Structure 1
Amino acid sequence: MRGERPSASSRYAPLAPPLKGGRFFFILLVILLASAILIGRVTLLQVIDRPFLQSQGDARTLRHEAIPAHRGMITDRNGEPLAISTPVVTLWANPQELPTDGIQLMMLAQALGMSLGDLEERIARYSTREFMYLRRQMTPEAAQRILDLRTPGVHSQQEYKRYYPAGEVVAQLLGVTNVDDIGQEGIELAYQPYLAGHPGQRRVIKDRRGRIVRELGTIRDAQPGGELTLAIDQRIQYMAYRELRAAVAENEADGGVLVMMDARTGEVLAMANYPSYNPNNRAGLDPRGLRNQALVDVFEPGSVMKPLAMSAILENEQFDRNTVVDTSPGWMRIDQFTIRDIRNYGRLSLAGILEKSSNIGMSRLTLQLDDTAIWERYNQLGFGQSPGTGFPGESTGSLNAPVRWSRSERAALSYGYGLSVSALQVASAYTAIANHGERLPPSLLRLPEPPMGIPAMQPAIADDLLDILEESVGPNSGGRRARVEGYRVAGKTGTVRKTGEGGYTADAYRSVFAGIAPVSDPRIVTVVMIDHPRAGQFYGGAVAAPVFSSVTGNALRLLDVPPDREVEDE
């Protein structure tokens, strides 16, 4: 009924029956088990697996980056730089992060100086990788212009590039490094472990795109390479190269070599080669210019060997500098070979034999000696042996052992045929004449003190030869063009036939001159070789001697060597 109120029993729904004991404990067990599993998992992650998870997280964000170390500088004896490392920037990219938008790629390609097609082709080639070079060893300014485009996936890397201030002037001696700054030739290769720096390492945090978010500190500092001081004087080297290049051009020759050594220490003050190349720009270089001919190439030296052979002759008691030899009629037959002089010189003293460069005189004297006398002297002077400079590929030359030598072979050895030598070996041998009989081994590095000389001939004989060689460049001699104003000079010319397919050629020569200055107190020894002059002149006195005169005169003045001859006596 409308006015009736519901009863108490109808206002309250009946309560659910209470859980029986088994069901209650089952649900409680499930809750406790789930809680235990959750707590165990948290414990596992936070305590047991924490080091592993920490390392995995760090591996995805924490990086160890190399700190580049620059290569050691190479300088001349006066501290002038010959090879230095300059900072450059290498750009690289992750192909998988580069944009696919054509406009962005076009802007990147233009900034890199390449076509869009070339860039797309390179991206396609490295599409499955995460690294590719875009441009190596750029100047920081040029690289920054590309980085300012903010192209996704493009990154930079700091590196160093080798630069050679002297360019082609000393290229063959120094050598070069490759794009990774590792020595490939010359001094750069010989002293690679010393010159190379040791990279450092730093810890950084990077984002997923490889960008550095924060630096956490340095693990190991970079260690720069050691500095190397060469024996050469850059001023003399420039002059030597300039005069050598001019002589090669003037005589229409194939090339040339000049070596200058300090007569007191054996240090190489200049070593010039032509043709050469620019190590800073190797595009279109002449392969012939890569070789350090002064150390690596060998040739038959010809008459510049006569003073060295004469030292062995003078040590024989039956001869002295006043001995007279009849060279008539200007030719002789030995073992079915004909040996000739330019003309019939008649009777010549030992000094006259060197001054006139008589092959007949040298042959007749040599054939009166023991079979091995000349060979032994050449061996004492370092021929057929390594110069010991440590330069990669330096030649030992060729000096065959005196086994069953014929008379013609013994005679030919005395006037510079039948053996092969390098220009540096000849210069080192002449230091024995300049240094009272003691030969100085050549050094490409500046020495802290003069080395011990190697006895090669008697001091009195070396001094006699120095006087005789001064006469060989007298006003009326074939070597007169080697004279230097204000200085007494000693030296010997050489003109050597080159060999071809059928033996010695009739119209191809090497012009050689080896000299010492000043005679009163020898300071430098210089050897010049011009290969195959074609302009008409080919004698050593006409082609190589003027180069010696110009370079030696300038070098003596640069070294502040006082003149030892009055100018009016010229």
Structure 2
Amino acid sequence: DLEPLIGYTRKTEHHNITRVDGVKGVEKYYNDILSAKQDGRLTGKRDIGFNIIANKAAAIQTRQDGFDVTLSIPLSLQRKIELELDEAKKRYKVREIIAGIMDSKTGKFLALATSNRFDPKHIQQKDYPHLNLNAIEYSYEPGSTIKPIIYAILLQKGMVNPSDVIELDNGYYKLKSYTIRDTHPLKSGSVEDIIVRSSNIGMVKISKDLKPNEYYTALHAFGFGELSGIDLPYEKTGLVPSPKTFQNEVYRASVSYGYGMRATFMQLMRSYAIFSNGGYLITPRISEYVTAPSGEKYVPKRFEPIAILSPQTTAQVHHTLIQVVKRVIKIAQVDGVITGGKTGTARIALNGRYDSKYNGSFFGFAQDDNNAYTIGVVAFESDIKDDYYGSRTAAPIFRRIVEILLDDGYLKPMQPQAEAQQAEQE
């Protein structure tokens, strides 16, 4: 359980003293406070039985233990999520599945799991690819999961209205020498329909007036191209194209539907939390508190949330993501709670060309009257016919995670009337 999140340690010898250092994960990030500060030592003259003589010449150096770190992740919940991912990996025959559950308001993780784990006490050569925590160390093109973020940026700038009708050219659109196609062709649709039906052509058209500097700055404001600040080591920043690159019309268009940029799982979790926490960019964390050898508990420093979206924009995107689930990704609906989110299915670039493998993902939220959780699932390198779409791999896992949160009491079933009222308000 909890690997590679916890990480592992390595013993080293220094002046005949064995030291233990964290190499990856929590063990590495908190290595300085987990490590003992001072070994216990008693020096002095010995008697004939080789015992130290307790006199003025004797010196005692007391042992100073390190701190303990308590994680925010309940082990029983983490284990249930891991077992779900194990079954899903067998079913879809993918390279890896990552899933996370984060409190949308506080950034506290309740689970951060992968299907690729290892035994830290018996690491074997076959485990080497699994030692990295890919939720933060691996970046990829996010595909359609980026669309709600672009939509939010455009709404916030007053550049679109959800009810505006856009011509969608029956799913076939030429941009210079490139052809953009939609999986589900439409003659036209509202701006909200473009998100709900996941129209690439629509995204290109509604975002075309975003200036290069605006595009670059807005994506960074949502946390892309930046460290999330989670208390784990070796986090990657992904890649946001430079303002100069954004001057290329075709490149700018491709980013609007999730190609030409790279994001980490953690960055997408952080950005989607904005839509169910009132519009704030929060800092994710996996530690609850640290305990000193004396027994005193300390809460690590937390960063203040940053207001990114207005309440009106946040409510609109929240409503649209609920519509995605109600109208298209119906498998992500769970009775008694409000769910919303967006799928993504992105082809994988290999040696400069797009391969036949895909990453299928679903990012969204589940909430009741009092709690809101951001939930993300990514299935990496699907290649089974008809089973690589995010709606067929990641979305069913999202549903199971929500059901587990209900079963374990993290979410409370809402009355149908209250559920309808809250969804209507959003």
**Higher deviation after alignment, 191-200 or 274-283:** 274-283
Distance change in 2, residues 1:207/1:171 (3 Å): farther
Gaps of 5+ in 1: 1-168
CA distance in structure 2 between the aligned counterparts of 1:450 and 1:183, rounded to whole angstroms: 23
Distance change in 2, residues 1:221/1:384 (3 Å): same
Any idea what SS the aligned residue of 1:391 has?
coil
- Look up the match of 2:51: 214
CA distance in structure 1 between the aligned counterparts of 2:152 and 2:143, rounded to whole angstroms: 16
Q: Which has the higher contact order (CA 8 A, sep 6+)?
A: 2
TM-score for the superposition, normalised by structure 2: 0.87
Kindly provide the amino acid, as one letter, of the partner of residue 189 in structure 1: K
Is 2:326 the partner of 1:487?
no
Residues 264-303 of structure 1 correspond to what in structure 2 (within 5 A)?
264-303=105-144
Kindly provide the amino acid, as one letter, of the partner of residue 234 in structure 2: G
Is 2:172 the partner of 1:331?
yes
Deviations 1:336-358 (A, max 9, x none): 12111013212211221111110
Deviations 1:9-57 (A, max 9, x none): xxxxxxxxxxxxxxxxxxxxxxxxxxxxxxxxxxxxxxxxxxxxxxxxx
CA distance in structure 2 between the aligned counterparts of 1:173 and 1:418, rounded to whole angstroms: 29
Distance change in 2, residues 1:504/1:284 (3 Å): closer
CA distance in structure 2 between the aligned counterparts of 1:417 and 1:295, rounded to whole angstroms: 19
Kindly provide the amino acid, as one letter, of the partner of residue 262 in structure 1: D
Contact 1:435 1:522 in 2 (8 A): no
Contact 1:267 1:444 in 2 (8 A): yes
- Look up the match of 1:534: 383
Is 2:41 the partner of 1:201?
yes
Is 2:254 the partner of 1:422?
no
Shift in Å, 1:390: 4.3
Is 2:311 the partner of 1:469?
no
Kindly provide the amino acid, as one letter, of the partner of residue 453 in structure 1: P
**Higher deviation after alignment, 312-321 or 410-419:** 312-321
Residues 26-425 of structure 1 correspond to what in structure 2 (within 5 A)?
169-179=1-11, 180-197=19-36, 198-203=38-43, 213-216=50-53, 219-404=60-245, 405-425=247-267
Any idea what SS the aligned residue of 2:210 has?
coil
Distance change in 2, residues 1:280/1:531 (3 Å): same
Contact 2:364 2:376 in 1 (8 A): yes
Shift in Å, 1:539: 0.4
Is 2:311 the partner of 1:459?
yes
Contact 1:518 1:564 in 2 (8 A): no
- Look up the match of 2:294: none
- Look up the match of 1:164: none
Gaps of 5+ in 2: 12-18, 290-298, 421-426
- Number of aligned positions between the proteins: 395
Any idea what SS the aligned residue of 1:354 has?
helix
Contact 1:377 1:456 in 2 (8 A): no
CA distance in structure 2 between the aligned counterparts of 1:428 and 1:186, rounded to whole angstroms: 19
Is 2:414 the partner of 1:564?
yes
- Look up the match of 2:374: 525
Kindly provide the amino acid, as one letter, of the partner of residue 351 in structure 2: E
Contact 1:265 1:451 in 2 (8 A): no
Distance change in 2, residues 1:366/1:519 (3 Å): farther
Rg (Cα) greater in structure: 1
Is 2:362 the partner of 1:513?
yes
Shift in Å, 1:443: 1.4
TM-score for the superposition, normalised by structure 1: 0.66
Distance change in 2, residues 1:324/1:466 (3 Å): same
Any idea what SS the aligned residue of 1:499 has?
strand
Distance change in 2, residues 1:283/1:403 (3 Å): closer
CA distance in structure 1 between the aligned counterparts of 2:111 and 2:265, rounded to whole angstroms: 12
- Look up the match of 2:14: none
Kindly provide the amino acid, as one letter, of the partner of residue 278 in structure 1: D
